[in-house]
Structure 1
Amino acid sequence: MSFVQSAAELGNQYRDDRVLRSYLKRTLPPDTLAAIEPDLDALGEHAAVAWRRSLQSPRGEPSLTNWDATGERIDRIDLAPQWVEAREIAARRGLVAAGHEATHGEHARVHQFAMVYLHHVASAFFTCPLAMTDGAAVCLKASGNAILIERAVPRYLSRDPAQFWISGQWMTETTGGSDVSGTQTQARVDANGRWRLYGRKWFTSAINADTALALARPEGSPAGADALALFYLEPRRADGRWRNLRVQRLKPKLGTRELPSAETELDGAPAEPVGELKHGVRLIAPVLNVTRAWNAVCAIATMRRGVALARDYANRRVVFGRPLAEQALHVETLADLQAEFEAAFHLTFYVVELLGRAQAGRLDAAHHGLLRLLTPLVKLWTGKLAVALSSEVLECFGGAGYIEDTGLPQLLRDAQVLPIWEGTTNVLSLDVLRVLRAGGGLTGYLSAQRALLAEAETADLGAAVRTVRDATGTLTEWLQRAASDPHALEAGARELAIGLARCFAASLTLSHGAWSQRVENDPRASAAARRFAARGLARFAVRHGDDARMLAGDVS
Structure 2
Amino acid sequence: MKVEEGFQPVNVFHTLSVHILNFGYSRAQRPYMEGNPFTTDTVLPSLLKRLATSQAFDEISEDLERFGSVVLTTLRDLSSKTFEPKLVQYNQWGQRVDELQTSEGWRGLKAKMQEEGIIGIFYERRHKELSRVHGFMKQLIATADTEVIFCPLSMTDGSARVTELLGTPEMKKDLFPRLTSRDPEVAYTAGQWMTERPGGSDVSQTETVATHIPNAWSPFGPVYSLNGFKWFSSATDSDIALALARTGPPNSGSRGLSLFLIPLRFPIIRLSGAPRPSALTNNIKIHRLKNKFGTKVLPTAELSLEESEAYLLGPLNQGVKHIAPVLNITRVHSAVSSVGYIRRSLAIATAYSKVRAINGGTQLLKDAPLHVAELAKAHLTYRALTHFVFGAVLLLGKTECGVATEEEELRLRLLTPAIKGFAADKASSVIEECMTALGGQGYMEETGIGHNLQDAMAEKIWEGTVTVLSLDIVRAASEPGVLQAFISWAEHIITSCPSELSRQVPASLTLLRTALQEIASIYAPPIVPLVQRPALFIFSYAASALYLLEHAIWVFNVGEKSPDVDLEVFRRWVEENSLQSAIEDARRSRKDSPKRSAMNAKIVYGNELEAVAASDALLEGRLRAQL
CA contact (8 A) 1:506 1:529 kept: yes
Structure 1 residues 443-462: aligned runs within 5 Å: 443-458=484-499, 460-462=501-503
Given the superposition, is the C-alpha separation of residues 195 and 513 from structure 1 closer, same or farther in structure 2, using an over 3 Å criterion? Answer: same
The 1-side partners of 2:456 and 2:475 are apart by 27
Alignment pair present for 1:528 and 2:551:
no
Q: Are 1:199 and 2:236 counterparts?
A: no
Instruction: Specify whether residues 245 and 478 from structure 1 end up closer, same or farther in structure 2 by C-alpha distance, changes over 3 A only.
Output: closer
Residues 167-316 of structure 1: matches in 2 within 5 Å? 167-190=190-213, 192-193=215-216, 194-218=223-247, 222-238=251-267, 239-242=276-279, 243-316=282-355
What TM-score, normalized to structure 1? Answer: 0.94
Q: SS at the partner of 1:229?
A: strand
Distance 2:515 2:64 in 1: 41
After TM superposition, the structure 1 stretch with the greater mean CA deviation from structure 2, 416-425 or 443-452, is: 443-452
Q: Which moved more, 1:19-28 or 1:505-514?
A: 505-514
Change in Cα spacing, 1:12 to 1:492, as seen in structure 2 (3 Å) is same
Q: Which residue of 1 aligns with 2:86?
A: 63
For 2:451, the equivalent position in structure 1 comes to 410
Matching residue of 1:548: 600
Q: Are positions 1:373 and 2:409 aligned together?
A: no
Distance 1:161 1:478 in 2: 47
Structure 2's unaligned 5+ residue stretches are: 1-22, 217-222, 268-275, 590-595, 609-627
Mapped contact 2:193–2:241 kept (Cα < 8 A): yes
2:138 matches 1:101: no
Judge conservation of contact 1:230–1:284 (CA < 8 Å) in 2: yes
CA distance in 2, matches of 1:530, 1:190: 62
Q: How far apart in 1 are the matches of 2:349 and 2:138?
A: 23
**Secondary structure of 1:11 counterpart:** coil
Q: Deviations over 1:367-399 (max 9, x none)?
A: 111110111111110111111111111111122
Q: Deviations over 1:400-455 (max 9, x none)?
A: 22222321110100110112111110000011111111132221112212222234
Structure number with larger C-alpha Rg: 2
Asked whether the equivalents of residues 92 and 161 of structure 1 are also in contact (C-alpha less than 8 Å), the reply is yes
Tell me: CA distance 1:268–1:21, structure 2 relative to 1, closer, same or farther (3 Å). same
Which residue in the other structure is 2:272 paired with? none
Q: How many residues align?
A: 553
* Structure-2 separation of matches of 1:459 and 1:33: 29
Distance 1:75 1:458, change over 3 A: farther
**How far 1:461 moved relative to its partner?**
4.8
391, 395, 401: which is aligned to 1:360? Answer: 401
Cα 1:446/1:180, change in 2 over 3 Å = same
* Superposed displacement of residue 175, structure 1: 1.5
Q: 1:472·1:500 contact (CA, 8 Å) conserved in 2?
A: no
Separation in 1 of the partners of 2:601 and 2:57? 54
2:511/2:574 contact within 8 Å kept:
no
**AA partner of residue 545 (structure 2):** A
Conserved 8 A contact 2:84-2:296: yes
Q: Assess, with a 3 A threshold, how the Cα gap between structure 1 residues 130 and 358 changes in structure 2: closer, same or farther.
A: same
Q: Is the 8 A contact 1:457 1:465 kept in 2?
A: no
Per-residue CA deviations over 1:444-496 (Å, capped at 9, x if unaligned) read: 1122122222344445254546424424424533652674554xx22111111
**CA distance 1:173–1:555, change in 2 (3 Å):** farther
* TM-score, normalised by the number of residues in structure 2: 0.84
Q: Which moved more, 1:391-400 or 1:543-552?
A: 543-552
**AA paired with 1:147?**
E
Q: 1:332 aligns with which of 373, 397, 404?
A: 373
* RMSD (Å) for aligned C-alpha atoms: 2.2
Q: For 1:482 and 1:373, locate their aligned partners in 2 and report how far apart those are by CA, in whole Å.
A: 12
Aligned pairs for 1:147-166 (under 5 A) are 147-166=170-189
What is the identity percentage for the equivalent residue pairs of Structure 1 and Structure 2? 32
> 1:513 and 2:557 equivalent?
no
Q: Which runs of 5+ in 1 are unaligned?
A: none
* Most deviating of 545-554 and 232-241: 545-554
After superposition, what is the alpha-carbon deviation per residue over 1:134-185, rounded to whole angstroms, capped at 9, x for unaligned?
A: 1111112222532322231111111111111111000001122321000011
